[in-house]
Amino acid sequence: MSEKKNKGFKESWRKFIVSLKKRPHNIPLCMMALAFVVYSFNLTKVSNTTAVVNKPLMGLCEFIIMLLSILAFVCFLNAYPKRQKPIMPMVILLYVMEIIIMAADFIYISRIQEGLQTIQITAARAFIPKTQSMFYVHIALVILSIILIALIPVIGKMLNKIDTSVKLAENEDVEIELVEEEDGAEAVRSGGKRHEQE
């Protein structure tokens, strides 16, 4: 049972690597998805922080981050069509969107820092420093997304170096047996022809 599980795991891993070889840009896409999930799951805290701190551009930054995070997915899928070369205008637009998202993160953090100078953090307002920490994580994920997008050609070359070929050691004996059977059949046919000629 353990051998079958190991073989099944190895085969699943091999298929996973093969799929990544065909679409290496799925790696930065997953990083973008992770950044979006982190932000969207903390959107309630962000909204509450905006309501309490209430500094200029906070609501606008919150809206821009959510909107461009969604549009970035659409742009990414159009920038890297299946089995085709990247569409450079869409790639450039994708970079612009990611940079704007990161800039909005920094602006929002600066507004929180301004608010913390006058706002006292109580148990009821414990979500404000948590929101600030979340934005630092979000910035890190966005930066990683940008780096991975830039490294897609390098990632593709590295994945191509991984050997995903299927070993046919078990089938070699079958091929030998088939060859021997074919040789025997040819010998019988040649023997039959000689008998007819005689």
Total-model pTM:
0.76
Residues 6+ apart with CB under 8 A from 193: none
For 5, half-sphere exposure in the C-beta direction (CA atoms, 13 angstrom radius) is: 2
Place of tokens 């010998």: 187
Task: Kindly state the percentage of the chain with pLDDT values over 90.
Answer: 51
Calculate ∠ Cα 93-34-141, nearest 5°: 65
pLDDT tens readout for residues 90-115: 999 999 999 999 999 999 999 999 98
pLDDT at 87 over 70: yes
pLDDT at 85 over 90: no
pLDDT tens readout for residues 141-172: 999 999 999 998 888 888 788 777 766 554 44
Predicted pLDDT at 64: 95
- Identify the band that residue 198 occupies on the pLDDT scale cut at 50, 70 and 90: very low
Name the DSSP class of 121.
P
Alpha helices in 23-150 (DSSP H): 26-41, 43-53, 58-79, 88-116, 127-150
pLDDT tens readout for residues 12-59: 777 777 777 778 888 899 999 999 999 999 999 999 999 999 889 999
Name the DSSP class of 80.
S
pLDDT tens readout for residues 166-197: 665 544 444 444 444 445 545 445 554 444 44
Distance of CA 93 to CAs 60, 78, 97, 116, 179, Å? 20, 11, 6, 35, 59
Mean pLDDT (the chain, rounded): 82
Average pLDDT rounded to a whole number, residues 77-86: 85
